Amino acid sequence: MLLELTPNLTVAFAAGATMALTGSAPEDLQGLSFIDLVAPRDRPLVREIMKHAAAGHRLESVIIHLDGPDGDTPPLTLLGCHLPDMGGHYYLALRVGPGGLLFGMEEEPAARRENSLTGALSFAETTGECLLAGREAGKEYALTLLRLENLLELRARLDDRAKHELMSTVSRCFRAEAVDDHMAGQFADESYGLVHARGKNVDGLCAHLQEFTRKLDPENAGVTVRSATLEMDVADMSESDSVKALAYTINRFCTEDAEGFAVDNLSAALTAMMGDTVDRMTEFKTVVTKSNFELAFQPVVDLATRSPHHYEVLARFSAFGDRITPYGAITFAEQTGMVCDFDLAMCAKVIDWLTETRRNGRDYMVAVNISGSSIGSPAFVRALQRLLAKHEELRDKILFEITESAKIVDLEAVNRSVQSLRQAGHKVCLDDFGAGAAAFQYLRALDVDVVKIDGAYVRDALSTGKGRAFLKAMAGLCNDLGIATVAEMVEEEECIGFLRECGVDFGQGYLFGRPSADITTFDETGGENDPNEEFPPTAKKASGRR
């Protein structure tokens, strides 16, 4: 059925299957309100989507029902647009078909596309581009983040039809207020955001959503909408850095306890959060650029000889004082997309240190941590390979530990990067094995030389039979694959024989020494590692990947 509507939503023209869908001939529909033709349960939704169309957005695959001659029609797909140049009229098409099934039914993907908003990461990236374009065009935008409290509880009280109506209306309300469709996003179950013209008041949007959800709710409770508007002043930041700062701020908004935002002026708190992010990014970038961080070393000991085999290199940040722990600094770098720069700076500093110690007649093998985010970046891998190519004499002295603190997404691409490092003469270790749900998936997909077993498994193995079985199974699997094993958090003497019985090759922990800025601290426990010792050892490896 085809319809032309006037600006006040009365029918100016109709054609098609009007008798089947409305019980009236096309000419009899002229002058009637389109809203009155819609099934009562869909009228609030249709009012919202028509406002959405009037704001310049197309209507694509909206699912509604009409008030037909025999009750509600089957689900219909509504498409159309509003044309200001044609007297502000609306031009609509409705059809019965597969695209018209309800959310939660067989054609759920079509409905889900209608209800969906941009995800957090894409929204942050798009927002950065929007801010840059607006700045160049002399336009000023603001970001409003909203939390629809109790939305999950409301959804649990609704049937599939009402759930669809709820999420469709929420989606259209946000899109209608945003500068365009891509500038409205959903970041978590109850957290949303939109970019709009600076100075735009969103109080009406919040009030409307609260009223709409209250009427939809069988318990008449609805949701409480809390909003915070951030005036986006990024004049002193690059586009790339503004996107990173925005993504980090959005992540904090979505993950922090709601009580953290329970302040009188929520917008001021959000602005302060963004400002704090910018300041911390600027400070961290300065530390990385000037290489203003220190190295600390902790031995990884051969359990058979009790001598250091190699040393893990750790970062220390005296520039931050007691404000940020090393773990906090690295986590912040990962969450703001700055970890690639830091990992590269760390590798450069380690290379300089190795060169200097060799010049002074000492030779060490060291392990350098690389974030899962970094090894997944082709640009980082290329930069690292260029750096390593200048120091071929150190290739067998630098082992790389791939950390799981940032989840690895494209395992196939990461494995190619790992193999390029191994082919160049570097050993590669998978760090914190067992700590994440994807650990065995990583081991299956990534060909590595060493696996570092998470310390939690060592503790459990000492206290429970089940833990012992798990540790022994992991060590046995790695041995069968020709992969050396390192146990973390070795703190008691009784661990040594126990770990060897389980088939673990190496150990690391306070029993052998705490991290120290002076590597010679460990000389009395075995001194330099043997530069001629093969790693991983091959005597007990019957088969596997090398």
Residue 476 lies in a domain: yes
Return the CATH number at 304.
3.20.20.450
Alpha-carbon span 206 to 181, nearest angstrom: 19
Residues 139 and 261 reside in one and the same domain: yes
Residues 246 and 313 reside in one and the same domain: no
Q: What is the pTM of this model?
A: 0.66
Task: Give the lowest-confidence range in 64-78, 145-159, 330-344, 488-502.
Answer: 64-78
Residues 105 and 137 reside in one and the same domain: no
Residue 546 lies in a domain: no
Q: What is the mean pLDDT of residues 172-195?
A: 80
Residues 357 and 267 reside in one and the same domain: no
Pairing between strand 428-433 and 398-403?
parallel
Mean pLDDT of the chain: 82
* Residues facing 231 on adjacent strands: 142
Residue 535 lies in a domain: no
283, 300, 318 — which closes off a domain? 283
Residues 378 and 494 reside in one and the same domain: yes
Q: Which of 11-20, 101-110, 184-193 has the highest mean pLDDT?
A: 11-20
Residues 270 and 301 reside in one and the same domain: no
Return the CATH number at 197.
3.30.70.270
Residue 538 lies in a domain: no
Q: What angle do CA 235, 241, 246 make, to 5 degrees?
A: 90
Residues 80 and 146 reside in one and the same domain: no
What range defines the domain where residue 171 resides? 116-283
Residues 255 and 324 reside in one and the same domain: no
Q: Which of 151-155, 174-178, 434-438 has the highest mean pLDDT?
A: 151-155
Q: What is the pLDDT of residues 249-265, one digit of tens each?
A: 777 766 664 444 443 45
Residue 483 lies in a domain: yes
Residues 265 and 342 reside in one and the same domain: no
Q: What is the pLDDT of residues 506-541, one digit of tens each?
A: 999 999 999 999 999 887 554 455 544 555 554 344
Residue 442 lies in a domain: yes
Instruction: Please give the tally of structural domains in the chain.
Output: 3
Instruction: Check residue 478 and give its pLDDT.
Output: 93
Instruction: Check residue 185 and give its pLDDT.
Output: 82
Task: Give the lowest-confidence range in 240-244, 299-303, 455-459, 468-472.
Answer: 240-244
Residues 62 and 77 reside in one and the same domain: yes
283, 317, 350 — which closes off a domain? 283
Instruction: Check residue 541 and give its pLDDT.
Output: 40
- Buried-state track 252-290, b at ≥16 Cβ within 10 A, e below 16: bbbeeeeeebeeeebbebbbebbeebbebbeebbebbee
Residue 326: is the preceding peptide bond cis (ω within 30°)? no
Residue 532 lies in a domain: no
Instruction: Check residue 122 and give its pLDDT.
Output: 65
* Residues facing 367 on adjacent strands: 312, 399
Return the CATH number at 78.
3.30.450.20
233, 252, 283 — which closes off a domain? 283
Residues 237 and 326 reside in one and the same domain: no
Q: What angle do CA 542, 402, 335 make, to 5 degrees?
A: 160
- The full DSSP string for 447-495 is --SEEEE-HHHHHHHHH-HHHHHHHHHHHHHHHHTT-EEEES---STHH
Task: Give the lowest-confidence range in 286-295, 327-336, 417-426.
Answer: 327-336
Residue 197 lies in a domain: yes
Residues 459 and 327 reside in one and the same domain: yes
